[in-house]
Structure formats: structure tokens, C-alpha cells
Amino acid sequence: MSKKRTVLLALTSAHHGFLRGVARYAREHRWHLVADMIYTAKIPSGWRGDGIISFIGYRDDLAEFILSSGLPAVEISMVRDEIKMPRVEGDSEMIGKLAAEHFLERGFRNYVWAPMLDDTLNAERFHGFAARLSKDGISCHVLPPTDTRHGDPTSRDWQARRKLLIHELKRLPKPLAVFGYNDCVAADIIDACDDAGLLVPEAVAVLGVDNDALICESISVPLSSVCHDLEGMAYKASALLERMMSGRKPPGKVARVPPRGLVTRRSSDILAVENLQVARALRFIRDQYTSALIGVDDVVKATTLSRRALERAFRQELNRSINGEIVRLRMEMVRERLAHTEKRVVEISRECGFARPNHLFRSFKKLTGISPRSYRHGISDRKTSTASP
């Protein structure tokens, strides 16, 4: 039986994803977790144990305590990348790329990046977003950071920042796609749109990061979000700490954990088009695509155009056919079900509008190059891989 370890949770951010990841590892490896700081935020001066899991944030006093303790410690973040510690971080560039592809699939041409801070993580996330957009010849407008600790005194005045944000959102061309650094930033964008009289997602589509249900599902317009694998990061950080507490050296580079996909909610559940007949067709498809009976002729009847004219308009607006859009929506739903449920493929097939499971299998493999089962196993394997540092 392994030796019991006593580990301090020195987290300035008590995100439930971090807590679940560390708790899962602790249960599996007989750790005793000291979690006082989550409730008191006070540094336990003089504490002695076996190791520390930290999210330092901007607490210089906490950084000094951890470094001076001489204990094995792992930081879950790149926020304070100047502090020389073994650390685990999410793949922020991949997060940015996923966000860009989510909006590109919906035909947006006008993009905004909404940062939180002027730091390494924000820069990485923006780089992934902007680099993917640039491949399609698209540039991105950048809003000022919401950071209230540094820079222009105006940034510390909530009303002044809100007035500036509304001004920017109103003046930029529509329809507009806004990618927020995290769910908090994205939720603030939605609130500002409400104050400005801008409809979400019709005028401004919004996407966040973290998929924090407490935020995403409690605001006026449910928020789409990239699934940043915070639990996986914390679990991997715990495995790395166990390695260090056992006397082995940490790896020389930052361990990266990829995102687990993206959950689409109402805030971005729209396609950006200018052609009214295409917009009507898209709304009909959105309402009916889960029915196995819907066909291209049904979509055409929802408009005043002929089939040929509507197909041509679809190509001009979205660079895909009417049937291609039906399949795209169904595949998006299939991927979400495979990644986030344990439902059998036959059930998923029925829910997503496929008449037969083998039709789903053929369509999925044609689009992704792998079977639905292999896709699900790949998601599972990525989750499992977070166990090894």
C-alpha cells in the first residue's frame, strides 16, 4: 500500500473543475488534502506536509510561501509564467483554434477578441484564434482587457468600461462573433449587448471558455463555451506532484492538456448570413434537422426560391449545399453526444435525425475519417492520458 501523503491546496481560484481533479486523484492515491485556504484565503505559515498544488494567481505572498517552503509543488496555470515552478496548463492555442472554427462554420466574417488580462495565457488564446482566422484571410478586432489592476485609471471604473464596451459593440459591423477569454468575460459581453439593445446571437454571437454551468446556464442568453479541461489539468498536476514527492525529477517543459470540445448553446447557435431566403431556410433546418424525414425539398418550400436558386444562394453565403448544412448540424450533435454522454450509437442515430445507424456510420466516417466508436474512444483516451505527467 502506498504511503499516505498530506497535500496543501493553495488555490486562489477555487474552480470546481480544479477541485474535482485533485479530489479524484486524492481518492485513488490515499492523499489527505488540506483545503483551509479555499475557505479562508489565509496562508498557513509554518505548515509542513508532503507537497503543494497551487494556483497562485497574483498573490505574491503566496508565491513566496510556496517557493520558500522547499516542498515539492506544482502550479496549475501559466498566469505567473515568470515564477520558476513545474506546472500544468491547458492548450490555449488549441482553445483559440476551436473557437475560430466554431464561428467560421457559421459563416461569420466580423470577429472580436475580448481578453481578460494582458498576460501570457490571454496572448496564447488570442494567437490560436487569430492564426486560424488568418488562414481564411480574416482579421480580428481586439477589445481592451477587463483587467482592473493596471494601466489606464478608466479600466478600474466599471461604468466607464461598460460605456466603452457598448460603444465598441455598437460601432463594429454586424453580424459580429465575439470570443471571450473565459465564461466571465463572455457573460459580461452578453450583459453589455442587453444594455445596448443588441440581440444575441442575431447581431452578436458570443463564445466563452471553461463551460462553467453556473455561468453558462444562468444568464439571460445561455452561453456557448469551449470545454477547457480544468479537471484534467488538476488531475495531471496531482500525478506530477506524486512523481516529485517520490523523489523523481519533473519534466523540463510545461505539461499541456487539450480542451474536451465545445458545447453550443443559444449565444452562438446561429449562422451569419445576409440573404433573407437563406436565413429562412437555415431557421427551418435548425428547427427540423433532428427529424429523419426532412429533405432538401422541404427546406426549399420554406422559402420563395426555386431549388436551384436556393442551392446557389447557399453556396454563395456558406460555401456548402443545403444538404451539407443538414449533415453539418447532425454531425455537430453526434459529436456532442459521443463526447458527453454514454448513449449507444443507435440511440444517438435516432436523436440526431438519421433513419438508420449505418447511415450515421457512413456519414460520420466520411466527414471525420474514423468511426463513431473510434471517436468516442479517442475522447476517452485523452481524458485518461491526463493521469500521466
Domain boundaries for CATH 1.10.10.60 within the chain:
276-383
pLDDT, mean of residues 280-288: 87
pLDDT tens track for 92-108: 999 999 999 999 988 89
- Bridge partners of 33, per DSSP, are 7
CA 289 to chain centre: 25
Q: In CATH, which of 3.40.50.1980, 3.30.365.10, 3.40.50.2300, 3.40.50.1820 is domain 5-90+231-257?
A: 3.40.50.2300
pLDDT (0 to 100) of residue 253: 87
Q: Using pLDDT thresholds of 50, 70 and 90, give the confidence band for residue 341.
A: confident
Q: Note whether 164 and 93 are within 8 A (CB).
A: no
Measured in degrees and rounded to the nearest 5, phi and psi for residue 190 equal -60, -40
Q: What percent of the chain has pLDDT over 90?
A: 60
Tell me if the domain spanning 92-229+262-268 has CATH number 2.40.340.10.
Answer: no
pLDDT exceeds cutoff 70 at 155: no
276-383 domain in CATH 1.10.10.60?
yes
> In this model, does residue 322 exceed pLDDT 90?
yes
How many CB atoms are closer than 10 A to CB 58? 13
Nearest to 13 by CA among 219, 207, 234, 223: 234
State the pLDDT at residue 300: 96
Q: Where in the chain is the domain with CATH 3.40.50.2300?
A: 5-90+231-257, 92-229+262-268
Q: Which of 54, 21, 85, 389 has its CA nearest to residue 240?
A: 389
User: Residue 291: what pLDDT?
Assistant: 87
Give pLDDT tens digits for 182-221: 999 999 999 999 999 999 998 999 999 999 988 999 999 9
Angle at 218 between CA 118 and CA 159, to 5 degrees: 45
